[in-house]
Amino acid sequence: MASIGAGGFAPLAPGQGAGWAKLAAAVEAQVPPAEIETIYVFHPIKRAGKEWGTAVVTRKSDDGRLRVYTARYMLVVRGKERGQSKIEVEEVALSPAEVLAQVLQATADRTGDAEPPVEVAPGTWFAD
């Protein structure tokens, strides 16, 4: 039996929900899902009727390193502008996998996020 979260609904899995769906569509427009190596999602922040989410998406480069993309969204979840969003997908680095893991952990530590980023399977984000 699934646990019930706030509002009487089962909590969403990491990377699921309206903001994440919009972000996944923006990522898909820039990075073919078949080329995605990994997706890491940070715990979203909800404050003042808005939700912010960040994902790190990687794909292999020709030389074996990872091309790293930062994908961010801001979604208005309450008020008369509900449903409006801002989406940003940007290629930010070319990195060995070992370095990426260290950077992700350091980012979670620096922001004080109690939960480290969660790896999400590309199939979870993208419909076939």
DSSP the chain: -PPP-GGGSPPPPTT-SHHHHHHHHHHHHHS-GGGEEEEEEPPPEEETTEEEEEEEEEEE-TTSPEEEEEEEEEEE-SSTTTT-EEEEEEEEEEE-HHHHHHHHHHHHHHHT-SS--EEE-HHHHS--
pLDDT classification of 5: cutoffs 50, 70, 90: very low
Residue of higher predicted confidence among 113 and 59: 59
Give the model's pLDDT for residue 51. Answer: 93
Give the mean pLDDT of 104-122. 79
Going by their DSSP bridges, the two strands 45-47 and 118-120 should be labelled as: unpaired
The predicted-structure confidence for 62-109, as pLDDT tens digits, reads as follows 898 999 999 999 999 998 999 899 999 999 999 988 888 888 878 777
Closest CA to 66 of 37, 101, 39: 37
